[in-house]
Amino acid sequence: MTSYKLALIPGDGIGVDVIDAAMKVMHSAAARFGFALAPETFPWSCDFYLRTGTMMPADGIETLRGFDAIYLGAVGWPETVADSVSLHGLLLPIRKAFDQYANIRPHRLLAGVEGPLKASEFDILCIRENTEGEYSGAGGRVHQGKPNEVAVETSVFTRVGVERILRFGFEQARARRKHLTSVTKSNAQKYSMVFWDDVTRELSAEYPDVTVSQMHIDAMAAKMVMAPQDLDVVVASNLFGDILTDLGAAIQGGLGFAASANICPDRSSPSMFEPVHGSAPDIAGKNIANPIAAIWSGAQMLDHLGEGEAAAAVLSAIEAATAQGIGTRPGQNTTDEITAAVCAALEA
């Protein structure tokens, strides 16, 4: 029987709640489809930081390299550890070290879930650049605390980085409704975003079967709300993709629905699967977090591992639960109830 080695990093807050819930569904899928999951849990988190002084051990990345996939809950507990420390000590280095440059974030309305928009057609795939751009980490502050203080945060866009994410987007568009929207702010940012627009135009010649729109991030935000049915695959830089995918989650009905896969496409390193949402300190440990985003991310993981049938069954099971009205509105069901409904649908 095939067995997959999973590194579990539940992390902080509801990360722990949703990974615990989602693993029940993953085991149930494994049993039904005849494969095994061998999870190992790593307690790397803000608590770990407070005990040890680091978010993960010095050999953390090397340890993770030996796994087939990484399944992460959420990182961050700003009350005790600054986000600039926790995220730059765990989540962001993993994405970068494993060259997980394609962050795939699907947004669609699940059966039975009413989003805030009147439009019932909402099915987009956001491809977010995940290793460079505005998240390069380059910059600094001088004259800290003084009236002449200056802070600089440098965005880095490379031809390799921009080409590969756009190419990834074009390939995804080919497999869907053959439309790609490339998002920039090239009317205000005259180097990086004009460069991104140039590369989009160059590549579009290689994909004549895909229609391309180039939009500015501000107009794009409005379009996602006003006319989401015109969108299919959306490709955006690291920061713009981050913002658009919380908007996408909101249109889906809430952050508890939005899944995400951090993919290393050439498979030279493990990929990482995690919900779009964070640790939600306001609802942590109360058994009320929606685990659907984490479960859906788990379905992306199964698909990536080559268990496409199991992945599809997990997605159907999520929708069987929501179609019955389970987990469709915040606070309506507990985390346990939603998990049990998905497991029951999967086993039916």
Nearer to ligand IPM (CB atom), residue 10 or residue 76: 76
| CB-CB neighbours of 303 under 10 Å | 18
| CB-CB neighbours of 222 under 10 Å | 11
Q: Are strands 123-129 and 102-108 parallel, antiparallel or unpaired?
A: antiparallel
CB of 62 to ligand IPM, least distance (A): 22
Nearer to ligand IPM (CB atom), residue 242 or residue 307: 242
> Interface residues with ligand IPM (CB under 6 A)?
76, 87, 91, 242, 276, 278
- Show contacts with ligand NAD in window 263-302 (CB under 6 A): 274, 277-283, 289-290, 293
Q: Which residues, 6 or more positions from 91, have their beta carbon under 8 angstroms from its beta carbon?
A: 72, 75, 274
Distance, in Å, from the CA atom of 81 to the CA atom of 195, rounded to the nearest integer, reads 37
CB of 75 to ligand NAD, least distance (A): 4
- Show contacts with Mn ion in window 219-248 (CB under 5 A): 242
CB of 83 to Mn ion, least distance (A): 11
CB of 101 to ligand NAD, least distance (A): 16
Binding mask 75-114 toward ligand NAD (x if CB under 6 A, else -) reads xx-x----x---x---x-----------------------
CB of 272 to ligand NAD, least distance (A): 10
- Show contacts with ligand NAD in window 11-40 (CB under 6 A): 14, 18
Binding residues for ligand NAD, rule: CB under 6 A, are: 14, 18, 74-76, 78, 83, 87, 91, 254-256, 274, 277-283, 289-290, 293, 330
Interface positions with Mn ion (CB under 5 A):
242
